[in-house]
Structure 1
């Protein structure tokens, strides 16, 4: 990874977070909780994949329509996140696969 790639990645991340900060406060709170959860259990390609920007797109549309964030995702944030990543390869999957190879 070159310095140019690192700088470009930081620019993209800052732009992404600026979009999050433009959301209504309740959306921001839920997004940050989702982000923490997904960074803990989420897919391997989370940081450079389409999932997080897709969530922001979804939230921007919901906010523009005047809906509350829980109207969009329901009361169980973790279940919503699990549903988003159900077909993605996670770090837990990679760990289990490496353990299985060692046995």
Structure 2
């Protein structure tokens, strides 16, 4: 990643943050909680840019323009809303689980080979 990529990434992120700040206050609060949730759950694709987060802002901007309450857009269970957004995405938890499974399989194979 070159310096130009870093500069472009920062510009993109600043524009993203400006869009969040332009949302009504209730939308900002829910957006920030969604962002925290997604960063903790860790869909791998979040590291490839801000596509998913920008999509959420698009949805929120549309909801706000129609005068909808933010929970009319997400539903009352915001975590379930997030889970639905990333249901087909690979998460860091998935990668870790695969790693653990591989280590257990390897250890079991070694143990089995030793008993032969």
Query: TM bucket by the smaller chain?
Result: over 0.9
The TM-score normalised by the length of structure 2 is 0.86
CA RMSD of aligned residues (A): 0.9
Q: Residue deviations 1:26-66, cap 9 Å, x none? A: 00000000000000003101141521000000000000000
The TM-score normalised by the length of structure 1 is 0.96
Unaligned runs of 5+ in 1: none
Unaligned runs of 5+ in 2: 105-116
Tell which structure's C-alpha radius of gyration is larger: 2
- Tell me how far apart the structure 2 counterparts of residues 17 and 98 of structure 1 sit (CA, whole Å): 35
Name the one with the larger helix percent.
2
- The aligned residue for residue 102 of structure 1 is 103
- Tell me how far apart the structure 1 counterparts of residues 56 and 67 of structure 2 sit (CA, whole Å): 16
Q: How many residues align?
A: 103
- The aligned residue for residue 37 of structure 2 is 37
